[in-house]
Amino acid sequence: MNIEGKHYRTVWVSKDGKSVEIIDQTKLPFKFEVLTLDSAQKVATAIQEMWVRGAPLIGVVAAYGMALGMQQDPSDKNLQSSYDLLIKTRPTAINLKWALDRMMESLKDAPEQTRRDIAWELAGKLADEDVELCEQIGLHGVEIIREIASKKPAGSVVNILTHCNAGWLATVDWGTALSPIYKAHEEGIRIHVWVDETRPRNQGGLTAFELGSHGVPHTLIADNAGGHLMQHGEVDLCIVGTDRTTTQGDVCNKIGTYLKALAAYDNQIPFYVALPSPTIDWTLKDGKTIPIEQRNGAEQSHVYGINPEGELSWVNTAPAGTTCGNYAFDVTPAKYITGLITERGVCAANEPALTNMFADLKNSVI
Ligand code: MRU
């Protein structure tokens, strides 16, 4: 997608083919800075410190981390230690394990001297695949928005609420929840997006930045405003992303998603979750068993922003010494989900529907 009219992906191979470049998401939406990652260790830091974030992007960048690891040292020992280093960077998004397992599967039996090339090629393929899957999500999801628009009085706006950032910055390109929104906007459907701020890390700022760059009308709101807007008929549908989806259709997404789903349910507002299939964990049924990342309390007691002098600053909002809880994700049970928007189409959030749509993938895991 574009920043100031120039097309970017969120990760790309540098000109010399020996490192990868990423957009530093800790500086957005205030500053656009590109960082170079030239080792598996640097990739691990980038994921852990959230220079890159969003489930699909974490997976792809980790795959490049394996390629960098194999470039450094293609031995069996380093193959395993690169995997071990990267897998423990963030616990919730299953895309990380999915991508690392795919890399490991292709590399483990390959001769050492071939591993570097195999790894770079496969990581590039996973990046391209992600773009394709996310664009397909957009094409399927836009049908829902089109349908809602067709039932509203001519010329009225479709109001969509989203939480966190599940846009192109969270993937390689297009995004998951925002992909149908971009497609609807391209198609000329009149839309407006309610963007949840998404404390504590304010990923809503990333969503506002993306939508603004593409001319999509939007309003940034406090996390607690959604229920009020739903009660007053200001939301036609919700679309969010997911970091892990279970076989029974429970989804684990950014903290606060569950409360939005409850409010949508109470107000009979459709609540959709957009996901590429690598986000499905075929080994888990009950969402309550998903490991929930707990991050540093300083992210809760502080906010990051830009002061009038244009300097990035980190401001304390809590009394000194306050104990902070920083739960990064929550689980929305399938019963509150109207449908899952996948690269193969829209299905119900339940086991038979997911199995029917992805039987080949399910069988390849079990
Ligand atoms: O902690 P983050 O910013 O990595 O969390 C991201 C989200 O929760 C997204 O909604 C999720 O990864 C789906 S994105 C395509």
The secondary element (H helix, E strand) that includes residue 309 is none
- AA identity, residue 236: D
Instruction: Report the nearest atom of ligand 1 relative to the CA of 328.
Output: 1
Query: Which atom of ligand 1 lies nearest, measured to the CA of 201?
Result: 3
User: Ligand 1 centre from 89 Cα, in Å?
Assistant: 14
Q: What is the pTM of this model?
A: 0.97
Task: List ligand 1's pocket residues with C-beta within 6 A.
Answer: 53-56, 93, 164, 166, 170-171, 176, 203, 241-243, 253-254, 328
Please report the atom of ligand 1 found closest to the CA of residue 275.
15
Q: Which atom of ligand 1 is nearest to the CA of 163?
A: 10
Most ligand 1 atoms within 8 A of CB, residue of 98, 201, 242 to mutate: 242
Say how many Å lie between the CA of residue 241 and the centre of ligand 1: 7
Residue 105 alpha carbon to ligand 1 centre in Å: 26
Nearest CA to ligand 1 atom 6: 54
What pLDDT score does 1 carry?
Answer: 87
Q: Tell me, what's the pLDDT at 364?
A: 78
Sign of CA pseudo-dihedral 195, 201, 207, 209: positive
10, 51, 164, 201: residue to mutate for ligand 1 pocket, most atoms within 8 A of CB: 164
Residue keyed to tokens 């997608």? 1
| Closest protein CA for atom 15 of ligand 1 | 166
Q: What local confidence, expressed as pLDDT, does residue 326 receive? A: 98
pLDDT in tens, the chain (366 residues): 899 889 999 999 999 999 999 999 999 999 999 999 999 999 999 999 999 999 999 999 999 999 999 999 999 999 999 999 999 999 999 999 999 999 999 999 999 999 999 999 999 999 999 999 999 999 999 999 999 999 999 999 999 999 999 999 999 999 999 999 999 999 999 999 999 999 999 999 999 999 999 999 999 999 999 999 999 999 999 999 999 999 999 999 999 999 999 999 999 999 999 999 999 999 999 999 999 999 999 999 999 999 999 999 999 999 999 999 999 999 999 999 999 999 999 999 999 999 999 999 987 765
**What is the model's pLDDT at position 365?**
67
In 268-360 the beta strands, taken as DSSP E runs, fall at 271-274, 280-281, 302-306, 312-316, 329-332, 339-342, 345-347
Q: Is 93 exposed, middle or buried (0-12, 13-18, 19+ CB in 10 A)?
A: buried
Residues with catalytic roles: 243
Which of 253, 260, 293, 327 for a ligand 1 pocket mutation test, highest count of atoms within 8 Å of Cβ?
253
146 CA distance to ligand 1 centroid (A)?
25
pLDDT at 292: 98
At 71 the pLDDT is 98
Which domains are seen in the chain, by residue range? 2-129 (1.20.120.420), 138-364 (3.40.50.10470)
Determine the Cα–Cα distance for residues 50 and 45; give it in Å rounded to an integer. 8
Residue nearest to ligand 1 atom 14, measured at CA:
166
Separation of CA 260 and ligand 1 centre (Å): 15
CA distances from 92 to 167, 233, 255, 256 (A): 18, 34, 12, 15
